[in-house]
Structure 1
Amino acid sequence: MDMILAADENIFSSQIQSIIIHLLSTIFSALVISVGLVVSTEISGYNLETMYYPVNKVTCTCDCWDGYFRGKFPRGHYKIFYFNYEQSIIILLCILLFYGELLRKFLFKIIFNRELILLLLIPSVYSNFYGIWSIINYINDQDYDRMLKSQSYFSLTELIATFIFYQCLTMKSRIPSWLIYFLCTISCLHIFLAFGELNLDQMGRNFALVLSDIISLIWIIIMLIKNPRLKPNLRTTSIWLFVALCLWLFYHFVCQFREENGNYL
């Protein structure tokens, strides 16, 4: 028993180290790209004259293509790709690199390592990338007050739930009961919040987003049936209900989407 617990602790510790390395490598890659863009701009002939054609952030117009990163060279007309390199673009780079690398590792494990059990995580890929694409658009639109906090809440909890479910599916030895309870708490909370909107026009979208949570709950039910020792007692149930209540209150009072006039969506 002690050997099994020690093995679980070593696995969990290695996973934490992997997460830290992944975060640091994402930040480092974004900084390298940032430095490369700035240095290449200086080499290409950046000077104050190139700033005479700024983008009008109010009317969303520009007399050129990109007056900063084109330097002294002709700017041309319509381009299929355009961005202003500001502080927010560094955040977007980190987001794209972070999730892109996660997706690469996920596909690698399925295709090359043949870990077919991970196919259960495919709905999570959709919900995670739907959420992160929404965040990218909200940052791009500078919609920080109405929708960004709500979507960040869902995206972060979805990422945590996906990580926990991944751990449960790949863990070879005994699965810690708290992982199952935490996964159940987040999944139930997602379903409750998604269908609590009572917006029939978005019920189809909401179902697609919580499909991963439904799969997680089905897996949890199967695990509890197969392993009676995992069934929580009254005290454990009360603790996780309290955790769910705290998460719900945090969303309701801090992160919930509100229209400018104060009405809920």
Structure 2
Amino acid sequence: MVLGSQSTESGHRYIAKICGFFAPAFFPPLHIGVLYYFWNQYARKVDRHFCSCSCWDTVFKGTYESGIASYKHMYFNATSNTLKMWVVTVVFVLGLYECVRYLALLALQHRLRASMLVLFLSSIFAHYYAWWAYVNYWNDEFYSQWNHQLFFTVTELASTALVLRMADASFSVTPRAAFGVAAIATLHLVTGARDQFVDNLVRGAGHTHQVVRDLGLMVPDVLHLVLPLVELARSKHRASASFGSQLRREMTGLVLLVVGGFIVCEQL
């Protein structure tokens, strides 16, 4: 029986690793496909036989090619910004792999809280958007929105960490974790609405790709506001004598976090 249990556990871990592998491999092609759908009319055909690139330093080709280079499917310059783009890409890919592997393992062990899986899946676009933003900031050397994006990234990562903690159904949802996620979601909804959501969607000033982007960022925030509180209402913690005082304390923290975060975001 012990041998069979170990074999099952080993199989679960193997399947979880496969799931973790396919997630990072899947999203970039999907992203480019979506961009192609919206921006195909702006694309131009490239003559691969006669096109050239004069702004490539050719370092990684060494003596094989120098001067003005011919067509390449991919090229990169040996600069500090290229290093930064590579490092942040590795960090995001490994993070996505580990998160998906962890959630897949919980699912195979019948310990996954479904509502937290929904929240994690809904947050992937925001994290992917952040990675793409940083890559573009470094690639274009355009940094005016850097601090603003960094604020959203840090709070999104904190929220996702709490979601992953609550994803394990063997642990009860605590007021601190639930209100932490809800507070960050509220902060994002308030600041996001002020940034562009109202103009692009409510007033109809946004292009189709901007509307889709804003919905992809705002709808998950609504879910992050509602679902943790629903799970908290179901939690066994309600039966404890200290639940009421803990609830009031965390609600106060929620208000302070939203107000303080909004003030900080306005200064960035």
Give the equivalent residue in structure 1 for 2:254.
240
Q: 1:70 aligns with which of 49, 52, 61?
A: 61
Q: In the alignment, which of 218, 233, 237 is matched to residue 225 of structure 1? A: 233
In structure 2, distance between residues paired with 1:203 and 1:195: 12
Secondary structure of the 1:79 match is coil
Aligned to 2:124: 125
C-alpha distance in 2, partners of 1:64/1:89? 14
Change (3 A) 1:137 1:203: same
Equivalent pair of 1:66/1:82 in contact (CA under 8 Å): no
Cα shift at 1:203: 4.3
Separation in 2, partners of 1:174, 1:133: 35
Question: Would you say 1:143 and 2:151 are equivalent positions?
Answer: no
Shift of 1:129: 0.4
Alignment partner of 1:205 is 2:237: no
- State how 1:88-167 maps to structure 2 within 5 Å: 88-111=81-104, 114=107, 117=114, 119-120=117-118, 121-144=120-143, 146-167=144-165
Structure 2: distance between partners of 1:192 and 1:64: 42
Q: Percent identity?
A: 20
Q: What amino acid sits opposite 1:81 in the alignment?
A: M
2:156 maps to a residue whose letter is E
- Is the contact made by 2:130 and 2:149 (CA closer than 8 Å) also made in structure 1? yes
Distance in 1 separating the partners of 2:177 and 2:135? 30
How far, CA to CA, are the matches of 2:163 and 2:93 in structure 1?
Answer: 19
Q: Unaligned regions of 5+ residues in structure 1, if any? A: 1-60, 256-265
Q: Tell me the distance in 2 between the aligned counterparts of 1:158 and 1:243.
A: 14
How many Å separate the matches in 1 of 2:188 and 2:55?
45
1:188 to 176, 186, 191: 186
Q: Is the 8 A contact 1:195 1:203 kept in 2?
A: no
Q: 1:114 to 1:175 in 2, by over 3 A?
A: closer
Contact 2:163 2:181 in 1 (8 A): yes
The aligned amino acid for 1:142 is: E
Secondary structure of the structure 2 residue equivalent to 1:71: helix
* Counterpart contact for 1:131–1:151, Cα < 8 Å: yes
User: 48, 54, 79: which one pairs with 1:86?
Assistant: 79
Counterpart of 2:98, as a letter, is K
**What is the CA-CA distance between 1:239 and the residue it aligns to?**
3.2
Q: CA shift at 1:165, angstroms?
A: 0.9
TM-score by structure 1 length? 0.64
SS at match of 1:72: helix
Q: How far apart are residue 112 of structure 1 and its match?
A: 5.5
1:165–1:183 CA contact under 8 A, matched in 2: yes
Residue-pair matches, total: 193
Is 1:250–2:264 an aligned residue pair?
A: yes
Kindly report the root-mean-square deviation, in angstroms, between the aligned alpha carbons of the 2 structures: 2.5
8 A contact 1:127–1:209 mirrored in 2: yes
Contact 2:57 2:78 in 1 (8 A): no
Residues in 1 aligned to 2:73 and 2:165: alpha-carbon distance in whole angstroms: 41
Q: Whole-Å Cα distance in 1 between the matches of residues 76 and 164 of structure 2?
A: 35
> Offset at 1:96?
0.7
Q: Which amino acid aligns with 1:99?
A: F
Q: Relative to structure 1, is the Cα distance of residues 71 and 219 closer, same or farther in structure 2, using a 3 angstrom cutoff? A: same
The amino acid of 2:158's aligned partner reads: I
Deviates more, 1:210-219 or 1:124-133: 210-219
Specify whether residues 170 and 234 from structure 1 end up closer, same or farther in structure 2 by C-alpha distance, changes over 3 A only: closer
Q: Which has the higher helix share?
A: 2
